Amino acid sequence: MNVPSAADLGRFVSERGITVAWFTSGLFSVVVDFALDYLGSIRHLLTGGDVVSARHVRRVLDRHPGVTVIKQNRGVFDTMPLSLLSTQALTGLVRLAGAGLTAPRFRPNLLVDVPGGEFPEDAWVGRVLRVGGLRMRVDQRDQRCVMVTIDPVTLCRNPAVLRAIARERDARLGVYGTTVAPGRVAVGDPVELEP
C-alpha cells in the first residue's frame, strides 16, 4: 500500500482547490513542516485530537493570513464517527418540510441511494452495513439540531426543516455508526446489509 507523503497530500489539496480540511494534530504538524506552501487554497483548517503546536499554527497564519485555524477536541463529527443519510430519506424530508433541500445541509459522511421507500436507514439500527469495502455498524438514529435549519450555501435559515424533523421523525434523520472494518468507498458502490 502506498502511503502518501505530506507533499503528496499538499499537492492534492492545492490541485483541487480544497477550502476546508481537517487534519489530526500529528498530521497537521507534518503537513505544516513539509507542505505549507500547498495550503494556499484553504480557508478553514481544522485540527485536533491531541495537543496542537502553537508554533505550527503561527507558521500557517504567517504564511497564509486568510486561513482560520480551528482546534477540535473530538474531530468534526457530532457524537459518532460516521453519519449516513439515504437519498430516500432526503426525498421524504423534502415532502414533509415542503422545501427544496440538499444533502450538505445534513453533513453526512456517506450519502447512499438504496431501493425501497422513504427513510430506509431507520430499520438498519443494530445491523452491519457494507458500502464498497467499508463495513459500518449502524448504532443509532441521528438526532438533529438547529444546524439543519441553515442552508450551507446561502446561510439562510428555514426553521420549518427542523420543525418537520421534530414533528414527523422524532427529531431524527439519518443514522450514526462506527467502523467495523475500514475500506475504500467510491461513488456508485453497492450498499448491502449483512445478515
pLDDT tens profile 14-41: 998 888 888 888 889 999 999 999 999 9
Contact between 167 and 100 under an 8 Å Cβ cutoff? The reply is no
Does the domain made of 82-193 have the CATH classification 3.10.20.30?
Answer: no
| Overall fold of domain 6-72 | Rossmann fold (3.40.50)
- Outline where DSSP puts E strands in 25-133: 44-48, 68-72, 82-86, 110-112, 128-131
Residue 73 has pLDDT above 70, yes or no: no
- CATH 3.40.50.980 domain range(s) in the chain: 6-72
Q: What is the model's pTM?
A: 0.63
- pLDDT band per the 50, 70, 90 thresholds, residue 141: very high
**Beta strands across the sheet bearing 44-48:** 20-24, 44-48, 68-72
